[in-house]
Amino acid sequence: MLIRNATTEDIPAIAMLETACFSDPWPEDYIGRRLDKMLVAEQDGAFLGYAALASVLDEGSLDSIAVVPEHRRQGAADALLAAMIRRGRERDLSFITLEVRASNGPAIALYKKHGFAQVGRRSNYYEYPREDAILMTLVL
Ligand SMILES: CC(C)(COP(=O)(O)OP(=O)(O)OC[C@H]1O[C@@H](n2cnc3c(N)ncnc32)[C@H](O)[C@@H]1OP(=O)(O)O)[C@@H](O)C(=O)NCCC(=O)NCCS
């Protein structure tokens, strides 16, 4: 499996995966403006998934991570998240935060596996369907 920087050629695949996974998917033009914050996982030329890490000063935020349904449970998210954490350390970030739907067991397990801890909860943060967000942080 290869983890690499996202390019303009990845925009359609990222947008399609966003639409498949999230009720408020990022449009293609938004993805295009954020490519420098994204990593892609691929295998034998096939797109497996992506992750996006934004930062302001020394604060990182994992804005998205998703893997194509037929390629899940094969370690792609593990590899993407490990690469993002390395990137955060290289950029001297102090911590990485994220929000996740309270019912998203697979994602919460992924984040805990990589050392993120729950630091808060926002009531009714998400829409469609309305749901609380769990706030998690990894101190680097
Ligand atoms: C969450 C998601 C990114 C995991 O991707 P993945 O490539 O299947 O994950 P991996 O195979 O790398 O698994 C890594 C770890 O995640 C956790 N995990 C992943 N899928 C899981 C599941 N279905 N149930 C429980 N834990 C799971 C486990 O801790 C796993 O480690 P393990 O294999 O040692 O048990 C994927 O399910 C997905 O794209 N979901 C939809 C998008 C989404 O919800 N993104 C998060 C938004 S906050």
Listed as ranges, residues in the chain with pLDDT below 50 are: none
How far does residue 89's CA lie from ligand 1's centre (Å)? 22
CA distance 62 to 124: 20
Instruction: Name which of 73, 12, 70, 60 is nearest 40 in CA terms.
Output: 12
Q: Is 31 in a helix, a strand, or coil?
A: helix
Give the position of tokens 């420098």.
Answer: 36
DSSP conformation letters of 73-116: TSSHHHHHHHHHHHHHHHTT-SEEEEEEETT-HHHHHHHHHTT-
pLDDT of residue 81: 98
Residue 132: the pLDDT is: 98
Residue-number span of the structural domain to which 104 is assigned? 2-139
- Nearest atom, ligand 1, residue 68 CA: 39
Q: What are phi and psi of 68, to 5 degrees?
A: -55, 130
Count of domains for the chain = 1
Q: At what angle do helices 76-90 and 105-113 cross, to 10 degrees?
A: 50
With a 6 Å cutoff on the Cβ, whether 73 touches ligand 1 is yes
The answer to whether the beta carbons of residues 22 and 4 sit under 8 Å apart is no
What single letter denotes the amino acid at residue 33?
R
Ligand 1 center from residue 110 Cα (angstroms): 5
Which residue's alpha carbon is at the smallest distance from atom 18 of ligand 1? Answer: 106
**pLDDT by residue (tens digit) across 38-75?**
999 999 999 999 999 999 999 999 999 999 999 999 99
How many helices, marked H, and strands, marked E, lie in the chain?
A: 4, 7
CATH number of the domain at 83, please.
3.40.630.30
Q: Please, are residues 121 and 76 in contact by the beta-carbon 8 Å criterion?
A: no
